[in-house]
Amino acid sequence: MNLGLHGAHVLVTRPAHQAEKLCQLIQQQGGTAVRFPTLEIVELVNSSVNSSDKIPSATYPLKPLSDYQLLIFTSTNAVNFALKANGGKIGGFKSTSIASIGKATAKTLQTAGLVVDLLPTAGFDSEALLAMPEMHVVHGADILIIKGQGGREELANVLRQRGASVNYWEVYKRVIPDVDCSELMKLIDHDKLDVIIITSSESLHNLVDMLGKNYNKKLVTTALVVVSQRIERFAAEIGFKRISVAECPSDEAILEAAIAVYNGE
């Protein structure tokens, strides 16, 4: 049997600049991609580094990136905004290693001409990186985590417990976008929303807030596709009943999970 989406309305909540490929895949499978970003990624003010490749003293000790033993990039956004803040180029390291959380982040780093030294082969989150043997021998290492504002502290906390000195370079922030909710509300009112795709707990939290309490009852009964067990647990805690976890955060894996949950698999 040829399974597809056959007219299903699939809510894509990714930031607008990261949603297009997934939307195209949904449409190729006969679905209708409902674009509704619940996060907007914007440059963090005062995140720039100066021409001598140093982090601004207002946020961090004045120190060249090349003085760190390890740079950890947490997302493609972290790579792109770090590059922007650094004049479009980061490189020339001789004794600084680079770690990536996730294959998409690694690909973005490689496209920018950077060599990725550490990339988990199994898993795509902080825990997967921390499980690598190299991350257990970091005592005395100076590590910089390049990330968005806020978020989880697990990575830094564990590395500090293992004896590393850890600082952050926060290069972007997540905000709730100013979008019109009326069309999405109409879909929900007429029971036309079939699948919701969520790629972060924050995105799901924002979706619930943006629609308001009046839509919560119908929202939590809609099939939900997430990209990690951590997000699955959060979704269950706030009342979602039908949750499917994609094998990985790739667009193809998310699409496969959406097709499966829509067809009752």
Determine the average pLDDT of the residues in 170-193: 95
62, pLDDT greater than 60: no
**42-174, what's its fold?**
Rossmann fold (3.40.50)
What are the helix (H) ranges across 121-250?
126-130, 154-161, 182-189, 201-211, 216-219, 229-237
47, pLDDT greater than 70: no
What's the CA gap between 254 and 26, in Å, rounded?
A: 10
Determine the average pLDDT of the residues in 198-227: 96
* CA-closest candidate to residue 106, choices 136, 78, 76, 81: 76
Confidence tier at 94 by pLDDT (50, 70, 90): confident
Q: Judging by beta carbons within 10 Å of its beta carbon (0-12, 13-18, 19+), is residue 66 exposed, middle or buried? A: middle
Confidence tier at 128 by pLDDT (50, 70, 90): very high
User: What does the pLDDT read at residue 261?
Assistant: 95
139, pLDDT greater than 90: yes
Global pTM value: 0.83
Confidence tier at 2 by pLDDT (50, 70, 90): low
Confidence tier at 57 by pLDDT (50, 70, 90): very low
Percent of the chain with pLDDT over 90: 76
Determine the average pLDDT of the residues in 41-66: 59
Q: Do domains 9-39+178-262 and 42-174 have the same CATH topology?
A: yes
Confidence tier at 58 by pLDDT (50, 70, 90): very low
Retrieve residue 120's tokens: 């988990």
> Worst-scoring range by mean pLDDT, 51-60, 133-142, 143-152, 170-179?
51-60
Pairing mode, if any, of strands 195-197 and 97-100? unpaired
Confidence tier at 84 by pLDDT (50, 70, 90): confident
Q: Domain extents for the chain?
A: 9-39+178-262, 42-174
User: What does the pLDDT read at residue 50?
Assistant: 43
**9-39+178-262, what's its fold?**
Rossmann fold (3.40.50)
> Worst-scoring range by mean pLDDT, 27-31, 93-97, 180-184, 260-264?
93-97
* CA-closest candidate to residue 98, choices 57, 152, 146, 49: 146
User: What does the pLDDT read at residue 46?
Assistant: 60
143, pLDDT greater than 80: yes
Determine the average pLDDT of the residues in 221-227: 97
